[in-house]
Amino acid sequence: MILVEADAGGEWDSRVDWEDLAERAVLSAVACSSRAALNNSDLAIEISVKFTDDEEVKALNATYRGKDKATNVLSFPMVEPGLLDSIASADSGEVLLGDVVLAHGVCAREAAEKGVATETHAAHLVVHGTLHLLGYDHETSDADAESMEAVEREALAAIGIDDPYTVTEVET
């Protein structure tokens, strides 16, 4: 069973139920992934999602990735990908799969550039971050990137969000 803990503060719009958004995005990402069995595990599998500001993400990015800038989403896996299948078959206990951290300013700017609501883009970033916790990687090869994007599309469609990778041609 997947448990989602979400925390939103600061600049994140208090009218949005960020915990519900995080839970729907995480569960959909897991269900559409090659690790779907985790959703039915007797093990309590926790994923933490933090909606924070650019400064905190910048500090985390500098500390853990050596990049002194804010980024839209960071993932911090706590379980090696090779152990994920054995976790799904465990009959009891708890495990923290990892943390997903989103930067408000970057997310809001990207959403505006894409012409979508901030919460729509945030859901995409939560799906993306969750897939990293599940061992997906888009930096190793084009094939891996395409595979990850396909799962993102499916997971987002399952929660009613259009394909974020569709390029809309503007007539001139």
| 37: its two tokens | 């069995």
Residue 121 labeled ligand binder: no
H or E, element range at 135: none
> Does 104 count as an annotated binding residue?
no
Question: Is-contact 46 6, C-beta < 8 A?
Answer: no
H-helix or E-strand containing 137? none
- The annotation status of 138 as a binding-site residue, yes or no, is yes
User: 149 CB contacts (<8 Å, ≥6 apart)?
Assistant: 138, 165
Strands 94-103 and 44-52, by their bridges, are parallel
Rounded Cα–Cα distance for residues 133 and 128 (Å): 9
- How many angstroms separate the CA atoms of 95 and 171, rounded? 51
DSSP 112-130: HHHTS-HHHHHHHHHHHHH
Which residues belong to the annotated binding site? Answer: 128, 132, 138
Which residues belong to the annotated binding site for Zn(2+)? Answer: 128, 132, 138
